[in-house]
Amino acid sequence: MTKVCFDYDSIVYNIGFSAEKRYVEVELKETKPSSNKLRHNLPVRFDNRTEFKEWCKVNDFDYEIFIINDIQEPLPVHIAKQLLNQKINNILRQLNVSEYYGYLSNGKVFREDVSTIYKYKGDRAKSLKPLHYDFLREELIKHHDAILALPTLEADDMCSIDSHSAWGKEKLIVVTGDKDAKTVEKSYLFDPETMIVPQKIIGIGKLYWKEHTKTPTLTGHGRLWFYAMLLLGDGVDCIKPRLLCNVKFGDVGCYKLLSDCKTDKEALSKVVAKNKEWKRK
């Protein structure tokens, strides 16, 4: 029997932002008469901060002299509900599975207490939350068998635990775009944004490059990807192991170091050696 386990956290954000209009409005910080000409010729609205940065670059303006306000306008709630149902049903249809459930994160997690140098997900403190966030969570609980994660754990933790535990008993496919899921030994993973069929995660795995990215971006699966993350950390979660050592080490260096490793001993030895090298600097 095959089941699907959704990381519903990612779906809430994905659908939530799809069900609203977002843009930025800008204004000058200064109120000096010399800035009046710029103020009168300044476009008030941009699609996003990236577009505004490009405008500043083209027009040779300092990005820091502006105040940027993020604007969110929700679409009707029935559209959010429709998008949510379509998303889930399309994934189930693609996987040819009818039985499913999923997890939602629920409060503070243990990583917040152990992250004493850099705040866990500290870079997300000012990130916007979808306006339909609470509604979508309620819909998932009422109509899509969403389960609240255990205290101190996140939704993706629960998915990984279930997936690994199900191995050899039933086929449980975890649906998530979280790169941590690619490290879960003995599991099935499906990222609807990048995969056509589920990926089996087993063995030491491999490292490889993402396609269609502007700059080289490393990815992988299996234990080798886990070892790579021990060195690279996770910028999204604000886990940056090398910053205290004041060294540069990125995707290219990690690939050169680990991609040819054939055994766990070989890979771990290189991870330990690299950390010792950083410690001396």
Last residue of a domain, one of 74, 96, 117: 74
CA distance 271 to 161: 25
Residue whose structure tokens are 């409005």 = 25
15: left (phi over 0), alpha (psi -120 to 50) or beta: alpha
Which CATH number do you get for residue 150? 3.40.50.1010
Residue range(s) defining the domain that contains residue 267: 207-281
Which among 122, 69, 111 is positioned nearest to 238, based on CA atoms? 122
Which of the two residues, 123 and 18, has the higher pLDDT score? 18
* Residue 140 sits in the same domain as residue 230: no
Q: What global pTM score does this model have?
A: 0.85
CA distance 10 to 13: 5
> What are the tens digits of pLDDT across the range 98-122?
999 999 998 777 676 666 666 656 5
Measure the CA angle with vertex 177, ends 20 and 89; round to 5°.
Answer: 65
Task: Name the percent of the chain in helix, strand, coil, to the closest 5.
Answer: 45, 20, 35
Last residue of a domain, one of 202, 222, 256: 202
> What are the tens digits of pLDDT across the range 52-96?
999 888 888 888 888 899 999 999 999 999 999 999 999 999 999
> Facing residues of 67 across strands?
27
What pLDDT band is residue 38 in, cutting at 50, 70 and 90? low
CB 146 within 8 A of CB 166: no
